[in-house]
A = this chain, B = another copy of it.
C-alpha cells in the first residue's frame, strides 16, 4: 500500500472544454488556438525540410540549457523589430511554450506564502502553477483599462509577484492603459515586486501599446510563437533580468523539455521572414473577428459583455444561466465555449463564459452567438 500523499491538481476548464471541441463542433468559441487558415503550413514544411537536410542528426540531438543560440538571437531581433523591446540574446531563455515558461518562473519565484497578485479574473492555466507552488494568490480588479493599479497599490506590501497579461487580456480582452503601465512599473520598483508579463497577443494587433518590458528591463517577459506559427511546436521564451537568468537556465535542465527539432524549425521560420509574411493578415483577421463577436453579442445578447475587449481572442460574458450546465447542451448543438467561473480568484459567477474568436470562422460568429442566445433563452 502506497503511503505518498499526492498534492491536489485540478483539471483546467480550458482542457475540459477543448476535449468537447474535438468533433462535430461548428461554433468553437472555446479554443485559444490560432485560426488554422492563418498557420503558414507550406512555409513550415519548407522550414522542416531545410532543417533536416541542413542539420541532419544534429536536429535530433539533445537541446542545450537556455535554448539554441541562433534562435535566441533571432528572438531578440524579433522583440526589437516587432515589439519595441530591446534585449540581449543572452537574456532570452527558450522554453517549450509560454505555459512552460510560467511554470518554471512559478518554481523559482513562488513558495508557500509568497503573494502573487493577478488580474481577477485571469487565465486559469497560468494560475495553476502559482497555486501548486503554494503561492497566496491575490486578485486585483480589472477595468476596461486593465488591472486596477490603485487597488494593487493598496494590497501590495513589500515583495511578492505580480502576474499580468497587460495587453488583450485573457479572458476579458481589455488592455492596460499607458498611465496604468507607468504606475505599475513605478510601484514595482518602489515595493520590490517582481512583475511577470505574459504577452501572447500584442503581436497580433497593430494598435496595442508596447509591452511593459519596453518600459522597464526589470519586467520578466513571457512570449510565444504559438499564436502566429502554431501552438504544436511548443516554442516560447522568457526575457529574464540578470538576477534571474542563470537560475532559469539551470532550472530548465530539470526537464530539458524543449525539442531541438522544433527550436530549429522556428529559428528557420524567423530567418525566412515568415513573421512579416503572416502578420498583416493575422492582424486584420483577428481584429475583424473580434469586432464581429462584439457586434453580435450587442445585437443578440445585449448586456452580456462584461468588458470592452480591445484586441486578442477573448470576451467574457455573463449568460444569466449556469455556464457549465449549458455547455453540455450547447455541445449537442455543435457549440463550445469555456465556463469561466474558475478564472476568478474567489468564487466566480457561475454564469460567466469565455468566448474566443481564435479558430471559429468569421462567417460563423454571428450565427454562433444567435445560437448561444437561443440556448440561453431556452433555459429560462
Which A residues have a C-beta under 8 Å from some C-beta of B?
1-4, 6-7, 9-12, 15, 18-19, 31-33, 36, 39, 41, 44-45, 48-49, 52, 56-65, 95-97, 99-100, 103-104, 107-109, 111, 114, 125, 128-129, 132, 158-161, 192-194, 218, 226, 229-234, 241, 243-244, 247, 250-251, 253-262
Contact = CB atoms under 8 A, between A and B. Distances in A.
Instruction: Identify which of A2, A103, A125, A233 gathers the most chain B CB atoms within 10 Å of its CB.
Output: A2
Contact of A256 (B49, B52, B234, B260): B234
B44 A257 contact: no
Given A44-B52, A234-B96, A234-B256, A161 B60 contact: no
- How many subunits of this chain does the assembly comprise? 2
A41 B52 contact: yes
Contact of A255 (B58, B100, B161): B100
10 contacts: A4-B114, A6-B243, A12-B253, A45-B52, A60-B230, A100-B256, A125-B254, A232-B260, A259-B259, A262-B262
A234 B256 CA distance: 8
Contacts of A247: 6-7, 9
Contact of A4 (B6, B9, B99, B109): B109
Contacts of A95: 257
A182 to B, nearest CB: 19
A129 B192 CA distance: 28
Given A59-B232, A231-B60, A257 B52 contact: no
Nearest to A95: B257
A57 B100 CA distance: 22
Nearest to A125: B253
B1 A192 contact: yes
Nearest to A130: B254
Contact of A60 (B18, B44, B59, B241): B44
A39 B60 contact: yes
Given A103-B255, A109-B4, A232 B52 contact: no
A4 B160 CA distance: 7
Instruction: Identify which of A99, A114, A161 gathers the most chain B CB atoms within 10 Å of its CB.
Output: A99
Contact of A257 (B111, B230, B258, B260): B258
Given A107-B132, A250-B11, A255-B103, A63 B158 contact: no
B229 A99 contact: no
Contacts of A261: 232-233, 261-262
Contacts of A159: 3-4
Contacts of A65: 11, 15
Given A97-B255, A232-B61, A255-B100, A192 B3 contact: yes
Nearest to A195: B2
Contacts of A194: 2, 4
Instruction: Identify which of A1, A3, A160, A244 gathers the most chain B CB atoms within 10 Å of its CB.
Output: A3
Instruction: Identify which of A10, A60, A160 gathers the most chain B CB atoms within 10 Å of its CB.
Output: A60
